[in-house]
Amino acid sequence: MADNRAVVYVGKGKVEVQDIGFPELVLKDGPGVHPKNVGRKCEHGVILKVVTTNICGSDQHMVRGRTTAPAGLVLGHEITGEVIEVGRDVEFIKKGDLVSVPFNIACGRCQMCKEQKTHVCLNVNPERPGGAYGYVDMGGWVGGQAEYVMVPYADFQLLKFPDKDLAMEKILDLTMLSDIFPTGFHGAYSAGVRPGSTVYIAGAGPVGLAAAHSAQLLGASVVIVGDLNPDRLAQARSFGCETIDLSKHDNLGEQIEQILGEPVVDAAVDCVGFEAHGHGHHHAQEAPATVLNSIMEVTQVGGKLGIPGLYVTGDPGGIDEDAKVGSLKIRFGLGWAKAHTFVTGQTPVMRYHRWLMNLILHEKAQIAKAVNATVISLDEAPKGYEEFDKGAAKKFVIDPHGLVKH
């Protein structure tokens, strides 16, 4: 049996590449695996040789020690790979297929899956609705920042690329289909972005950049991106966004007015989440409700707020006892008075990934360019985590087998 290596969270601020077991079509006991999931048979699953797997900001929250993730957890929920083994009950996915794996694990059988709410599948996580690979409190499914990984419910979940050669030519774009492109698109789409919209995107990390590019694809007339990091703001400007350096300005509305002539936008997207910092003079201080409150202030009456930014129910590093359990000081009365619509939660990737694949394959979307996709080897993953934590304006793509031409 072939060996397998993976990126493992070993403690606050540290990951290592370690030898782990070669995957089988069963979920075995291990760090973070819910006891009721131990021994779960997955004859409906496949084994993938990982072609690309990306480092995500959500992974970074765990590595910073800002969740209850256990040491020994194999990381990675953004997976693209080649099928090398199929389970007995798999009918339509074949050995040799090149596929994108939605980060949401979904059974395809429960009420939520049948309603396209695959982000809150009722059957994959005994702890609560929704599952994911290599993530805290998500059922314990082994992550895919590895050479090989097991993927359950293959017929339902996997997005097969129709032409393998073409897919490998565009792999740096297609690798974004497992998470950040659908997540960014979901943020913009659920915020009601349409032709002519003016849009504010909070955060110029990879998801924020994906949301900005998605807003452009949806026809926005102006996309404004706000962040504290000048390098990431420069990346947003590289594909036509307006930007606001939030480290220099306390009043977001005033900065938007300088761009648009009015202090409000039609739609706003929070791509920051619970580790948000204050604006202007307070930018060095963590203030987890800052983004949510600011986007309520600058979104027009009756507007929508897309909130793909991550918020958690357990944060050991929270600034106070409320923040440690996900309770934030949000001006909900302001949102109520302005009749805002809030769309929260993980992204139901399967709702969007085929649309976005076609945009990539037909050269209508350039998501890899927008997020500055940067290829690294599996052994370089710890360094990639370090650079990402320092604010690198890059989306790190791990290439475990050296298959990506770049």
Same-domain check for residues 286 and 140: no
How many other C-beta atoms lie within 10 A of the C-beta of residue 111? 11
CATH code of residue 63: 3.90.180.10
List the structure tokens of 256: 């938007």
Q: Is there a single domain that holds both residue 77 and residue 20?
A: yes
Residue 405 lies in a domain: no
- Please check whether residues 305 and 364 belong to one and the same domain: no
Shared domain for 171 and 185, answered yes or no, is: no
Q: Are residues 244 and 284 in the same domain?
A: yes
Q: Are residues 80 and 194 in the same domain?
A: no
**Is the Cβ–Cβ distance between 370 and 391 less than 8 Å?**
no
Mean pLDDT for 240-262 is 96
pLDDT-based confidence at residue 1 (cuts at 50, 70, 90): very low
Residue 88 lies in a domain: yes
Per-residue pLDDT tens for 196-238?
999 999 999 999 999 999 999 999 999 999 999 999 999 999 9
Note whether 316 and 174 are same-domain residues: no
**Which residues, 6 or more positions from 362, have their beta carbon under 8 angstroms from its beta carbon?**
none
Residue at which a domain ends, from 321, 343, 365 = 343
Task: Output the pLDDT for position 122.
Answer: 98
Q: Do 146 and 63 fall into the same domain? A: yes
Same domain? For 201 and 122 the reply is: no
Mean pLDDT of all residues belonging to the chain: 96
CA atoms within 13 A on the CB side of 18: 15
Q: Are residues 156 and 106 in the same domain?
A: yes
Q: Which amino acid is at 342?
A: F
DSSP state letters, 78-105? -EEEEEEEE-TT--S--TT-EEEE-SEE
Q: What is the pLDDT of residues 155-203, one digit of tens each?
A: 999 999 999 999 999 999 999 999 999 999 999 999 999 999 999 999 9
- CATH number for the domain that contains residue 205: 3.40.50.720
Confidence of residue 2 (pLDDT cuts 50, 70, 90): low
Residue 114 buriedness (CB in 10 A; 0-12 / 13-18 / 19+): exposed
Residue 235 tokens read as 């990346």
What is the domain range of residue 281?
180-343
Whether the Cβ atoms of residue 319 and residue 66 lie closer than 8 Å to each other:
no
Query: Would residue 320 count as lying in a domain?
Result: yes
Contact in structure between 160 and 184 (CB atoms under 8 Å): no
- Cα angle vertex 209, ends 148, 309, to 5°? 75
Other C-beta atoms closer than 10 Å to the C-beta of 316 total 11
Can you say how many angstroms the Cα of residue 4 is from the centroid of all Cα atoms in its chain?
Answer: 25
Q: Is residue 404 included in any domain, yes or no? A: no
- Asked whether residue 159 is domain-assigned, the answer is yes
Q: Is residue 106 part of a domain?
A: yes
Q: Locate tokens 């509305």: which residue? A: 253
Same domain, 262 and 124: no
Residues 174, 230 within the same domain: no
| Domains identified in the chain, total number | 2
User: Residue 96 burial (CB < 10 Å; 0-12/13-18/19+)?
Assistant: exposed
406 lies in some domain: no
> pLDDT (tens digit, 9 = 90+) per residue, 18-36?
999 999 999 999 999 999 9
Report which DSSP code applies to 142: P
Measure the CA–CA gap between 173 and 11, rounded to whole angstroms: 31
Question: Does residue 367 form part of some domain?
Answer: yes
